[in-house]
């Protein structure tokens, strides 16, 4: 009986020790190099899909990208790399933290319409993305928050925008001034003028205004669209009803003047005898 009891206690003690050894470490399992890469790749695929769903021209783009980056950091925090991969892994996590700080800088610069700060933060993010690619390459994983993963589209400064607008509108004005006017065929004149203004509108639409001028610039483009439509209607109807055109031209001139692009304001001066000032 006594032996049997001692054997039973010993067996129970061994079982407890085995159970303690199996369950005593509540931390994440140390991952082999291959398993670590698999886990990182999974985190990166999820992040890539989330980033791909974001619209880079959305006002909250940088905040949303930061949220995606935070989700990746939370997932990576659960991983425990083996000793030989630990340094690169920790550098990658630190890189993501630096990228998150830079995204906060970008968001603030965007809200403040601070073009210089946007340039600086954009350069910083680009450098961090390149460093991220080097680290994931060293680990053997797919690119994660690497080059071009987060888009930084910097609008022109107001002075740069004005220069580009005036260049395009001055060229259009020269072309409009050169159009031949045949009183027997005014429809052709107004049709050609509509084509010229439409071409200029498309050039202007390709420019990226600073955030503070986004609404005004959109209204300018809308005014040009209405000018073109009115000119095409004038061409079709014989060239005498200018009420709709005058209304659109007034909007266009006001918005061009508000921005400071004087050459674009002159595109609104037109009547049945040709171009005004």
CATH number (domain holding residue 60) = 1.20.120
Check if the beta carbon of residue 82 is closer than 8 Å to that of residue 30: yes
Check if the beta carbon of residue 192 is closer than 8 Å to that of residue 178: no
Q: What is the C-alpha separation between 30 and 6, in angstroms, rounded?
A: 38
pLDDT at 93: 97
Residue 266's alpha-carbon distances to 52, 218, 229, 277, in angstroms, are 42, 18, 18, 6
Question: Does residue 22 form part of some domain?
Answer: no
pLDDT at 26: 57
Kindly state whether residues 269 and 162 are assigned to the same domain. yes
Token pair 């880079």: residue: 56
Question: Does residue 98 form part of some domain?
Answer: yes
Kindly state whether residues 162 and 265 are assigned to the same domain. yes
pLDDT at 239: 61
Question: Does residue 17 form part of some domain?
Answer: no
What is the count of structural domains for the chain?
A: 2
Token pair 């928050």: residue: 145
Kindly state whether residues 168 and 133 are assigned to the same domain. no
Check if the beta carbon of residue 269 is closer than 8 Å to that of residue 275: yes
Query: Considering 74, 107, 139, which residue would you say is the last residue of a domain?
Result: 139
Q: What is the C-alpha separation between 51 and 123, in angstroms, rounded?
A: 19
Kindly state whether residues 180 and 263 are assigned to the same domain. yes
Residue 12's alpha-carbon distances to 1, 7, 22, 145, in angstroms, are 16, 9, 15, 52
Question: Does residue 45 form part of some domain?
Answer: yes
Question: Does residue 3 form part of some domain?
Answer: no
Residues of the chain with pLDDT under 70: 1-28, 154, 239, 269-277
Kindly state whether residues 209 and 260 are assigned to the same domain. yes
Q: 60: which DSSP letter?
A: T
Buried b or exposed e, range 229-248, using 16+ CB within 10 angstroms: ebbbebbeeebeeeeebeeb
Task: State whether the Cα torsion 65-69-74-79 is positive or negative.
Answer: positive
pLDDT at 94: 97
Q: What is the C-alpha separation between 47 and 147, in angstroms, rounded?
A: 14
* Residue 78, number of CB atoms within 10 A of its CB: 10
Token pair 């990166």: residue: 44
Kindly state whether residues 125 and 162 are assigned to the same domain. no
- The domain in which residue 231 lies consists of 158-275
pLDDT at 5: 38
CA Rg value for the chain: 32
Nearest by Cα to 164 from 225, 119, 114, 209: 209
Dihedral Cα 271, 224, 207, 266, nearest 10 deg: 30
Q: What are residue 256's phi and psi, to 5 degrees?
A: -65, -40
Longest CA–CA span in the chain (Å) reads: 127
Question: Does residue 190 form part of some domain?
Answer: yes
Query: Considering 139, 171, 206, which residue would you say is the last residue of a domain?
Result: 139
pLDDT at 276: 43
Query: Of all helices (H) and strands (E), which one includes residue 275?
Result: strand 274-275
| Whether pTM exceeds 0.75 | no
Question: Does residue 23 form part of some domain?
Answer: no
């Amino acid at each position: 009986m006594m032996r049997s009891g001692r054997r039973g206690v010993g067996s129970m003690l061994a079982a407890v020790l085995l159970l303690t050894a199996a369950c005593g470490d509540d931390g994440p399992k140390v991952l082999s190099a291959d398993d670590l890469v698999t886990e990182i790749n999974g985190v990166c695929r999820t992040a890539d899909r989330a980033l791909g769903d974001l619209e880079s021209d959305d006002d909250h783009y940088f905040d949303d990208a930061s949220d995606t980056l935070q989700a990746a950091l939370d997932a990576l925090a659960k991983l425990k790399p083996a000793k030989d991969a630990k340094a690169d892994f920790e550098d990658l996590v630190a890189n993501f933290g630096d990228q998150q700080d830079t995204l906060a800088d970008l968001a603030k610069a965007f809200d403040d319409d601070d073009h210089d700060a946007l340039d600086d933060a954009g350069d910083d993010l680009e450098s961090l993305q390149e460093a991220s690619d080097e680290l994931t390459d060293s680990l053997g994983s797919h690119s994660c928050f690497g080059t071009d993963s987060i888009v930084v589209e910097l609008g022109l400064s107001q002075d740069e925008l004005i220069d580009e607008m005036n260049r395009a509108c001055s060229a259009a004005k020269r072309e409009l001034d050169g159009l031949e006017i045949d009183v027997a065929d005014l429809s052709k004149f107004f049709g050609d003028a509509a084509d010229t203004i439409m071409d200029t509108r498309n050039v202007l639409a390709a420019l990226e205004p600073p955030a503070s001028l986004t609404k005004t610039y959109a209204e300018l483009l809308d005014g040009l669209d209405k000018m073109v439509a009115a000119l095409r209607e004038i061409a079709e109807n014989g060239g005498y009803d200018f009420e709709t055109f005058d209304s659109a031209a007034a909007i266009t001139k006001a918005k061009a003047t508000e921005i400071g692009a004087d050459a674009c304001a002159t595109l609104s001066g037109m009547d049945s005898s040709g171009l005004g000032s």
